[in-house]
Amino acid sequence: MEKTIRIGTRDSELALWQAHTVQKQLNDLGYKTEIIAVKSQGDMILDKPLYELGITGIFTKTLDIAMINGQVDIAVHSMKDVPTALPIGIVQAAVLERANTLDILLHKGNLDFLESKGTIATGSLRRQAMWWNKYPNHTVVDLRGNVNTRMQKLEENDWNGAVFAAAGLERLNLKPDSHVTLDWMIPAPAQGAMVVVAMADDEFTLEALSQLNHIETEICTYIERQFLKTLEGGCTAPIGAIASYNEKDDTINFKGVLLSIDGKRKLEIEKTVDISQWKRLGFNCAQEIINNGGSELMTDIKKQLKK
């Protein structure tokens, strides 16, 4: 008998949108599916910045346990939330075609504050550090919660703006006219991509999911996550990475950045290589950063996060 593939997801609106997207693609291929929503610790603990919780994979751990316990067959995640090392027995089964990779600023009123002093909200260390690097006189405050909660908090507080991933707002049709595209801000590794994970020994489900995989997105996110993993950043250090494929000349362009938490120090790298060199690109770029002061900077960051 053909089994029903049980899709595990967080219960936020965006997570459910992602799960339903995977469900539709599997249904279109003739597979039976069922969605099972669970709450993660990351969704429940909203009064502390993520880096203070000291847990990698805070949004994915609950679903990992549900899969290992046999309650769900697959889990759908925003790939940027997934630790670079998956639990034993769980494998990456499909990376869907990527959406918008950029960050955007939602703001209230005019943008005069960009030239003077302002207050910006974000729950991301990377966005905080990159913002301070460009706007050292600004105040950055913590902002947690799902997309709708964060937008509501922006409305209720006297902040000038808040930083969001464009992809999440676009998926939910929530992107307002009053936004600025932050094309100078290097995104989180794998931002804009969705990943589906499954149990390594579940051949039926792995075969089904292999048909959803988008190879270009898989390669680019692999490079970005390899850069992150080599720097030992986990999901919380101020690290940005973006890889893109150029079809015209069959090359991959990569940009990576590591910043101090206060944004005062910034180590950047950009490289373009032939597609044949993609497997080591993230590693090689991270090694260059490490050898050019990144090792000391990562040590400082880890010390600060432990305080």
Give catalytic residue positions. 81
Confirm if 212 and 196 have CB atoms less than 8 A apart: yes
- For every residue of 84-146, DSSP letters joined together read SSPPTTEEEEEEPPP----EEEEESS-SGGGGS--EEE-S-HHHHHHHHHH-TTSEEE---S-
DSSP 69: T
Distance separating the N- and C-terminal Cα atoms of the chain: 55
How far apart are alpha carbons 84 and 56 in whole angstroms?
A: 9
